[in-house]
Structures are given as C-alpha cells and as structure tokens.
Structure 1
Amino acid sequence: MNASKYEKYFSIDGFWSKLKKGAKKAGSKVIYSGLLLFYALDSRKTPLRAKVQIYGALGYLILPLDLMPDILPLVGYVDDLSALGFALAAVSKSIDDEVRRKAKNKLRDFLGDDVLSSKDIIDIDGHVVEEQGKAKDE
C-alpha cells in the first residue's frame, strides 16, 4: 500500500490554516481529533495502513467542499467529526501518551487552558482508550 497517493489530498499548510481559521467555530472535539491524528502520523507506532486512513480523514477535514459546508452553524463540522472519529477508531493503537500530550499542548494553544478539562476532550480520550481495548481483544 502506497500512502503517497493519499497524501496529495492532505497538506500540512492546509491543515494548520484550517485549524487556525476555524478552531473556535469547529470546537474542541474536531480540533482535538484532528490533532491526535496529525501527531499519530509522526509516530513510529503508526503503520502504513493507519497513515493512509489518517491522510484520508485529515484531507477531508481541509477539503474546501464538504457534504455539510463548515459555514453552517452547528452542523457544519458534523461530517468532519464523523470522518475523524472513524479514523481515530481505526488507528487507536497508534495513539499513545506522547501523541496525546502533543495534541493537548497544541489544543491549549488554540483554545486555552480550560479546554483540557472539557467533557469533549475527556470523551475523545475515553473513546480512544475503548478502541484500544477492543483492538487488544482481537
């Protein structure tokens, strides 16, 4: 499997630009999920198959045309969050403490210190741990 053909839909500049412009509007769930996936790309623990899934999800996040345009209040990021959630579940084994630490540090830069204690962040961490448990059972 060749990840490079999927990489063309994702760019680091596009990712950071999307997060900087839309962090508050997208909300902590979308931003934290995207950051977890982004930092998992750099992890040696992330296999090629998982990287392909990550590129797809992050590419969709930065795609200018969505199924639900991001400018729609409340629902604009639902499709993005779904894509990110599926990818997180699929690559949960690659999300370790180092990936979480990097994602939380950057999330704090975007949304402030209080965001780390929000229910959204706790829910996502719980979802990742749950998926890791399922993966161990398989």
Structure 2
Amino acid sequence: MDNSQYSKEYSEESLFKKIKSVFSKAGVSVIYGVLLLFYALKDPAVPMGAKATIIGALGYFISPIDLIADPIPVAGYGDDLTAIITALGVISVFITPETKRKAREKTLEWFSDATEEDFSTIDAKLEKKK
C-alpha cells in the first residue's frame, strides 16, 4: 500500500465520522484495530516513520475508494482489515499496554457485547509480529 496516496484522507474528524457511520457494519475487529492505530498515533513515543504508516492505513480506512466496496456485507471491510493488520504488524513494537487498554475500553464502550474472541483476532496478529 502506498501510504502517501491515502495520508491526505486522514484527519481525526474524518476518522471518527467514518467510525460512526460504519461501526456496526465493520465489526469489532476492524474498529479495535482502527483504535489501536489511532491511540498509537497519539503516543508521543511513536516515531514519525511509524506514524506515517498509521496515517496511511487510517487514510485507507477513511477513503471512499477501496479495493472492495464497503457496502458489500462482510467482504466490504476485508481490505480495510488487511490494511489495518498490515500497519499494526509494522508498528506493533510501539503498541504499549496503555494503547491496548485505551483501544479496548473504547471498543467495549461502543460494542458492549464484544467477546474476547473479537479482540483475540487482532491481538494474536500483534503478538506474532513482536
């Protein structure tokens, strides 16, 4: 993925607007991954190179131009999840327990019925990359 192509799509306002418009369709794993990236982006200890990767992935999530159209049930967010997991793999060494806690708490705030399995999909990918 060419990060520069999607980085112009990113802003905090556009990210939360996209989350609000799709969170029930996108599902827990996608939103949890997005929030992990968002909170890592906010962490001053994360280097600029990693932040560029994060912004590219979040810009891809926000972008209305996808490889697979988002309105397609389930499959529509598969490419977004792939971009998110790829970015998380690149920056996983910078994801702190505090970042995970914040992302998990916010996800649970929005998805009160989220299960451990919903989080384990992303967490397992993070652990493999470390």
TM-score scaled to structure 2, two decimals? 0.90
Which shows bigger deviation, 5-14 or 31-40? 5-14
How many Å apart are 1:7 and its aligned residue?
A: 4.6
The 5 A counterparts of 1:83-98 are 83-98=83-98
Aligned counterparts of 2:48 and 2:42: Cα–Cα separation in 1: 11
The 5 A counterparts of 1:1-138 are 7-112=7-112, 114-115=113-114, 117-132=115-130
Aligned counterparts of 1:5 and 1:75: Cα–Cα separation in 2: 23
Give 3-state SS (helix, strand or coil) of 2:75's partner.
Answer: coil
Aligned counterparts of 2:4 and 2:48: Cα–Cα separation in 1: 10
On the 8 A contact 1:15/1:62 being kept in 2, the answer is yes
On the 8 A contact 1:36/1:103 being kept in 2, the answer is yes
Aligned counterparts of 1:68 and 1:83: Cα–Cα separation in 2: 12
Give 3-state SS (helix, strand or coil) of 1:60's partner.
Answer: helix
TM-score scaled to structure 1, two decimals? 0.85
- Runs (4+) of structure 1 exceeding 2 A deviation are 3-9
Aligned residues: 128
- RMSD of equivalent CA atoms: 1.9
Unaligned ranges ≥5, structure 1: 133-138
Higher radius of gyration, 1 or 2: 1
How many Å apart are 1:123 and its aligned residue?
A: 2.4
How many Å apart are 1:65 and its aligned residue?
A: 1.6
Distance 1:4-1:81 versus aligned 2 partners, 3 A rule: closer
- 1:135 match: none
Aligned counterparts of 2:12 and 2:71: Cα–Cα separation in 1: 22
The CA deviation string for residues 47-104 of structure 1, in whole angstroms up to 9 with x for no partner, is 1110000000000000012111110112100110111010000000111111001101
Distance 1:42-1:50 versus aligned 2 partners, 3 A rule: same
Aligned counterparts of 1:130 and 1:47: Cα–Cα separation in 2: 21
